[in-house]
Amino acid sequence: MQISETAIADVKILTPARFGDHRGFFSESWNRTTLADAGLTLPDFVQDNHSLSHDRGTVRGLHFQAPPHAQGKLVRCGRGAMFDVAVDIRAGSPTYGQWVGEELSYKNGRQLWIPAGFLHGFMTLEPDTEIIYKCTDHYAPECDRAVAWDSCGIDWPLEGVTPILSEKDASAPALADFTTPYQ
């Protein structure tokens, strides 16, 4: 298990080992003890999510759950490739409003650990991209929130792509018009 830093101290890149042979590969995509031995102890996970996005340029986000159901997320890509983004919205954080983005793909096997207190979103880089992620709290619709994907200065890899958004995401408020619930 390789753990790498990002520009935001609490957001980490995790790359589990892959054991390849003539059939393909095997990898332990999540092992609490391996991670702790590598120096990173995460909260307990209570829910796994999995979504498929058909088209390249699909943007899901930027989302978070407000307290008391804030979610930390451990994100990976099961098929295809995506540009995964976290934005710090923790009140008083020295990196408030800053973002980090990483390419997560089936090929690179990378995962992104995003603690509670961050916006999360991604843009798909290939058709039929599947995201799989572990959450530290259950889905709570009453706490589900969205911030406009293009309001945080994120350098999305658009390359001539018109983003595909849900209605919720297309009408989300800008970060500048938003008061963080993470006090």
- Positions touching ligand T46 (CB under 6 A) are 49, 51, 60-61, 63, 73, 120-122, 139, 166
121 closest CA partner among 66, 55, 165: 165
CA 135/CA 78 separation, integer angstroms? 16
Nearest CA among 119, 131, 82 for reference residue 8:
119
3-class SS of residue 38:
coil
Nearer to ligand T46 by C-beta: 109 or 136? 136
Considering the complex, what minimum distance in angstroms separates the CB of residue 20 from ligand T46?
30
Spatial CB neighbours of 135, under 8 Å, sequence gap ≥ 6? 45, 46, 47, 48, 49, 71, 72, 73
Rounded to the nearest whole angstrom, what is the least distance from the CB of residue 102 to ligand T46 in the complex? 14
- Catalytic site residues? 63, 133
The upper half-sphere exposure of residue 20, i.e. CA atoms within 13 Å in the direction of its Cβ, equals 3
Nearer Cβ to ligand T46, position 32 or 168? 168
Minimum Å distance from CB 121 to ligand T46?
A: 5
In the complex with ligand T46, which residue's Cβ is closer, 34 or 45? 45
